[in-house]
Amino acid sequence: MRSYTRKNSALNKITRLLLLVVLLLSAAKLYAVERDVVVECQWGELYATLSMPDVATDTAVLIVAGSGPTDRNGNSSLNLVTYSYKMLSDALVERGIAVMRYDKRGIGQSSIAPELIPNLLFDDYVDDAEACVNHLRAEGYRRVIIAGHSEGGLIAMCAADRGNVELDGLVLLAAAGYPIDEVLARQLAAQLMPTHVGLMLRATNIQQRLKRGERVDEQDIPRELLSVYHPTVQPFLINQMQYDPRELASRCKLPVLIVTGGRDIQVSTDNGEVLDRLFERSSHINFADMSHVLKDATTSDRMEQLVSVYTNSQLPLTEGLADAVAGFVLCGNDEAK
């Protein structure tokens, strides 16, 4: 089950048209040609995969991964095995769209020296996304859309806001509509309240200090919170906390597709709703059973999802997700302009 919100009747017409186009393309069973890509950056090299349909296309989607050590396929060393990005890429290619997905700096093959990790900033990830967009332009793609998942959604919005690269639209998949400090506070409250009030208060204090740009010594961080606020990630968090998705959305003139899931245990549906109200040209689709990793869940219980969904590479993507994204990419942009 899915629900929609639309800015105007024109987008409703676009949706009906694009779904027809997607169904026709799906029936054609377009098979991918896949090759490894290296994107040269000032700091080093980003390693990526470029997947192309058998038919010529001038349109490419750049998939930007979410937070943590999540690689180009949607997996990480933190017991995350979904292949969600690989599945989405394959589905879009079958629908006639080229897709590039990459390992972010310091993740997967895009390795950096360990001593540089504490100096990594959120802005660096935005720089790298821009480099990937430029690479796709150099490959000859006339239209480039960024599809950012979770934290990748904020990266996409920042790239659009900077204006350093030309973009033709954004797809925000389970992206936060609030600053990272508010998102973390919500997530921690869901896990800690009401049984660990003291720990929640400590987390609030730490976040307030980071928001002010202050570093927090390791001895001042409870062991239970160390994985979230470790000193090595504090420069990244301090930098990321300076961005408010609501402000970015209010300035964005691009067509945007917002996708949320009703069983997302990390980013609730209201994040999409708040963004949809602020973007000038947006469309919001909510899939009632979709989890944060873009696959359906039968429960909203955190622990059950971590076991049954986050580690199950055999689960398919939520039904209708690929059609919605492909439809927006194929028809939404040109028609909405």
Please state, in angstroms and rounded to a whole number, the distance separating the CA atoms of residues 270 and 275: 9
Q: What is the pLDDT of residue 291?
A: 98
Domains held by the chain: number: 2
Residue 265 sits in the same domain as residue 152: yes
Residue 41 sits in the same domain as residue 188: no
Residues of the domain holding 214: 180-242
Q: What is the pLDDT of residue 13?
A: 54
Please state, in angstroms and rounded to a whole number, the distance separating the CA atoms of residues 191 and 186: 9
Nearest to 62 by CA among 165, 212, 186: 165
Last residue within a domain, chosen from 222, 242, 262: 242
The CATH number of the domain holding residue 162 is: 3.40.50.1820
Residue 143 sits in the same domain as residue 258: yes
Q: What is the pLDDT of residue 4?
A: 66
Residue 66 sits in the same domain as residue 87: yes
The pLDDT averaged over each successive group of 10 residues in the chain (337 residues) is 60 54 51 89 96 96 96 95 98 97 97 92 98 98 98 98 98 97 92 93 96 96 95 96 98 98 96 98 98 98 96 97 97 49
Q: CB of 266 within 8 A of CB of 239?
A: no
DSSP string covering 162-204, please? H-SS--S-EEEES--SS-HHHHHHHHHHHHHTTTTHHHHHHHH
pLDDT 10s digits, 222-234:
999 999 999 999 9
Tell which phi-psi region holds residue 71, choosing left (phi > 0), alpha (psi between -120 and 50) or beta.
Answer: beta
Pairing state between β 170-173 and 143-149: parallel
Residue 69 sits in the same domain as residue 164: yes
Please state, in angstroms and rounded to a whole number, the distance separating the CA atoms of residues 331 and 125: 29
Q: CB of 103 within 8 A of CB of 71?
A: yes
Nearest to 68 by CA among 148, 152, 131: 152
Q: What is the pLDDT of residue 331?
A: 85
Strand, helix or coil at 136? helix
Please state, in angstroms and rounded to a whole number, the distance separating the CA atoms of residues 140 and 15: 27
Q: What is the pLDDT of residue 7?
A: 60
Residue 142 sits in the same domain as residue 223: no
Residue 266 sits in the same domain as residue 229: no
Q: How many CB atoms lie within 10 A of CB 202?
A: 18
Please state, in angstroms and rounded to a whole number, the distance separating the CA atoms of residues 276 and 294: 19
Global confidence as pTM? 0.90
Last residue within a domain, chosen from 210, 242, 274: 242
Residue 96 sits in the same domain as residue 49: yes
Q: CB of 237 within 8 A of CB of 152?
A: no
Q: What angle do CA 175, 126, 227 make, to 5 degrees?
A: 65
Residue 206 sits in the same domain as residue 158: no
Last residue within a domain, chosen from 242, 259, 276: 242
Residue 35 sits in the same domain as residue 115: yes
Residue 110 sits in the same domain as residue 172: yes
Residue 138 sits in the same domain as residue 200: no
